[in-house]
Structure 1
Amino acid sequence: MVPNQVTTFSIILYVLESLVILIQSGTTVAALCREWMNFQRLSPVEMILISLGMSHFCLQWASMLYNFGTISRPALVFWKISVIWEFMNFLTFWLTSLLSVFYCVKVSSFTHPVFHWLRWKILKLVPWLILGTLIASCLSIIPSVVKYHIQIELITLDHLPRNSSLIIRLKMFDQYFSNPLKMIGFGAPFLVFLVSIILLTISLVRHWEQMKELNTNDSSMKAQSTVLKSLATFFIFFTSYFLTIVVSFIGTVFDKKSWFWVCEAVIYGLVCIHYTSLMMSNPTLKKVLTMQF
């Protein structure tokens, strides 16, 4: 049982983290929209980042509305908000994996024909890939919609015996259909992210070793080392975020038990740090952060 002081501290920390994420995502969207109005163009990375900013903004609002709304009312009253939260999570995962794929294609030094073709096409493909992440997120959310409809149906059938064949079928459908497909929905973009990061790391390490053999100047070696450290930070925090989300779904999601607010504070603390690393990777956003803070 978590002490009340820890729960109170976790709630306060969660609220502060939520405010920081809302400010971060709002700043991202505002800065990149201003960039687009000034120069009438956005780079592919900025297109992905502005999409990530909007998804994080909506994700955090949905999280706050659901978490605080269900304190006074039953969770099923807010099931539509929880579906929005899950949709935004799926979208965030897919957009982050898309960003890792873009960096892998543009930065890696692989000479395979597939990489040559992708480098040639990636700039034109990014808008379509962003649309693809929206479609993939919509497909991934179907099990959750079905799950909540089943739960509502079970409440309406509460007058039937607990061993009713209809109730048993609905529960089995929920258990063996919704949760496994939900895990696939989160696992697929994370697998894409993982493969991209591994390939990019291999390419950068090879390049770093070549520079070391050729006795390249210290500034180039230092820059390469900085890139590898940034990549490691990006990987660690996004992987930690993925694992905490998976753990929360393996257990009872949105269950108001003693550890709930502690888990929420940990999850959105990781989101906050991960999003900060994303912002610092973009020159425009890094400039805005430096000027503001």
Structure 2
Amino acid sequence: LILIAEFIIGNLSNGFIVLINCIEWVSKRELSSVDQILIILAISRIGLIWETLISWFVVLHHPARFMDGTFLTIGIFSWTVSNHFSLWLATILSIFYLLRIASFSSPAFLYLKWRVNKVILMILLGTLVFLFLNLIQINIHIKEWLYQCERNTSWNFSMSDFATFSASVKFTMTMFSLTPFTVALISFLLLIFSLWKHLQKMQLNYKGQRDPRTKVHINALKIVISFLLLYASFLLSMLMSWLSEVYQKELLQMLCQTIGVFYPSSHSFLLILGNPKLRQESL
């Protein structure tokens, strides 16, 4: 029931983000960089939520489908691609907030700040390298698994060995998910440092005055820290899922899937609350 509730909330919140931004795109013939990122992010998360639910259904009712090479490859590859963009686009949002809001005197930072849209595009293209490497590694695991299935068609062998294959795939996915988390964490720390410097400057030069820039910093930090906390829970669920496959704990596996869907569902809901335009449209 919890998984179904998360599925409904995730589809509604992400669908709402796509709908509102697409309506604005059609009416105004233009869309900001943040809104473009939000559209792709929401679409990737809708795909991720559906793929997780389908995988859960197949595991419970049609486990033999995982011996079908085509079904297995399409299923794992599509989940990996959706998960990749779900994590990296949210991380890119953190970088965008950093470049737009933070204030540093470094020439390198100023260069990136003035070219924020190009920087975001280059980072997005650069993440495709990680996706390509991830898919290559997963494809190796899939080929090894299918080769073993062809050599031994015993059902008992296949089901017991599938846990080893699944653990290898999940470990690979977890390792590749650490990189965007690290980047988002660095962005968060730099935002905190920028806010600290700004507050010191305000205390010295503008005592007693209201400061809108501080509010902007704090709002951005709220968005990034909510993402980091949910991301950390998602990584923990992936790690626990890997351990559940190693030790063959089905109950733990179900818990991990529930936590895994909670991240793309709840974070999109928080993005709506943190975005003035989306929040206004939702009222």
TM-score (norm 2): 0.82
With over 3 angstroms needed to count, the CA separation of the structure-2 counterparts of 1:209 and 1:247, relative to structure 1, is farther
Contact 1:143 1:182 in 2 (8 A): no
1:246 paired residue number: 239
Name which of 193, 211, 214 aligns with 2:184: 193
**Mind listing any 5+ residue stretches in structure 2 that lack a counterpart?**
155-161
**Mind listing any 5+ residue stretches in structure 1 that lack a counterpart?**
1-11, 161-170
Displacement of 1:230 in angstroms is 4.1
Amino acid corresponding to residue 31 of structure 2 in structure 1? L
Amino acid corresponding to residue 148 of structure 2 in structure 1? L
Contact 2:41 2:86 in 1 (8 A): yes
Name which of 97, 113, 123 aligns with 2:117: 123
2:273 paired residue number: 280
**1:139-288 mapped onto 2 (5 Å cutoff):** 139-158=133-152, 181-213=172-204, 214-218=206-210, 220=212, 225-252=218-245, 257-288=250-281
Displacement of 1:154 in angstroms is 0.8
Displacement of 1:227 in angstroms is 4.5
**Cα distance between partner residues in 1 of 2:115 and 2:274:** 23
**Cα distance between partner residues in 2 of 1:119 and 1:56:** 28
2:94 paired residue number: 100
**Cα distance between partner residues in 2 of 1:45 and 1:183:** 27
**Cα distance between partner residues in 2 of 1:104 and 1:35:** 25
Q: State whether structure 2 residue 6 is matched by structure 1 residue 17.
A: yes
Contact 1:87 1:138 in 2 (8 A): no
Amino acid corresponding to residue 60 of structure 1 in structure 2? I
Name which of 3, 13, 26 aligns with 1:37: 26
**Cα distance between partner residues in 2 of 1:238 and 1:175:** 22
2:61 paired residue number: 72
Which is worse superposed, 74-83 or 185-194? Answer: 74-83
2:158 paired residue number: none
Displacement of 1:68 in angstroms is 0.7
**Cα distance between partner residues in 1 of 2:104 and 2:75:** 43
**Cα distance between partner residues in 2 of 1:148 and 1:130:** 27
Contact 1:26 1:57 in 2 (8 A): yes
Displacement of 1:64 in angstroms is 1.0
SS at match of 1:110: coil
Displacement of 1:229 in angstroms is 3.9
Per-residue Cα deviation, 1:130-167 (whole angstroms, up to 9, x for no partner): 3444453233222222212211111111279xxxxxxx
2:157 paired residue number: none
Displacement of 1:101 in angstroms is 1.1
Q: Aligned pairs, how many?
A: 268
Displacement of 1:49 in angstroms is 0.8
SS at match of 2:245: coil
Contact 1:52 1:92 in 2 (8 A): yes
**Cα distance between partner residues in 2 of 1:189 and 1:175:** 23
Which is worse superposed, 234-243 or 61-70? Answer: 234-243
Per-residue Cα deviation, 1:41-71 (whole angstroms, up to 9, x for no partner): 1111111111101100111111111111221
SS at match of 1:259: helix
**Cα distance between partner residues in 1 of 2:3 and 2:57:** 11
Amino acid corresponding to residue 230 of structure 2 in structure 1? F
1:84 paired residue number: 78
Amino acid corresponding to residue 42 of structure 1 in structure 2? L
Amino acid corresponding to residue 155 of structure 1 in structure 2? C
Displacement of 1:218 in angstroms is 4.8
TM-score (norm 1): 0.79
Displacement of 1:199 in angstroms is 0.8
**Cα distance between partner residues in 2 of 1:129 and 1:223:** 24
**Cα distance between partner residues in 2 of 1:245 and 1:70:** 17
With over 3 angstroms needed to count, the CA separation of the structure-2 counterparts of 1:29 and 1:257, relative to structure 1, is same
CA RMSD, 1 decimal: 3.0
Contact 1:63 1:82 in 2 (8 A): no
Per-residue Cα deviation, 1:203-251 (whole angstroms, up to 9, x for no partner): 1222233334432435646665555444433332222223322332344
Amino acid corresponding to residue 107 of structure 1 in structure 2? I
